[in-house]
Amino acid sequence: MKPHPTPVSLTEALASFDEVYSPRIVARMNDYDVRIAHTLGDHIWHVHEATDEFFLVLDGRFDIALRDADGKETTVHLTKGDTFVVPRGTEHKPSSPGGSILMFEPSGTPSTGDRHEGEIPDHVDSTTGHDLN
């Protein structure tokens, strides 16, 4: 992906695709991707062993279930404008009644983690991000 010579409108970028949990790369900075995605329904339990994962809710609601080393689960509820960082090595499962998010992740980070639980459903795209255009 080449740098954009002009600003990227997140509103226009989100309007350019409909798939959920199928992140689009809107910018690259250093060794990181800035990704956006539509959210709806459940993602899968997964973990990123070597990196934290930053989320900013652009619209709607976005929940992140977290599982600690003892198997205890808690859920963080986020709405428009909220940010949250899932620490590296933390099992998590996003879900949403509908919305959109922005994420910062190292380039090449798979959307379904280094390992995941169960089969990947059809509505979850296992990808390292798609170019916007």
DSSP 73-115: EEEEEEETT-EEEEPTT-EEEEEEEEEEEEEEEETT--TT-SE
- What's the rounded Cα separation, in Å, for the pair 45 and 120? 10
46-62: average pLDDT: 97
105-117: average pLDDT: 92
**pLDDT above 80 for 124:** yes
The pLDDT-based confidence of 3 (bands split at 50, 70, 90) is low
Domains along the sequence of the chain with CATH: 22-110 (2.60.120.10)
The pLDDT-based confidence of 132 (bands split at 50, 70, 90) is confident
Mean pLDDT of the residues in the chain: 94
pTM confidence score: 0.92
Q: Side chain identity at 131, as an amino acid letter? A: D
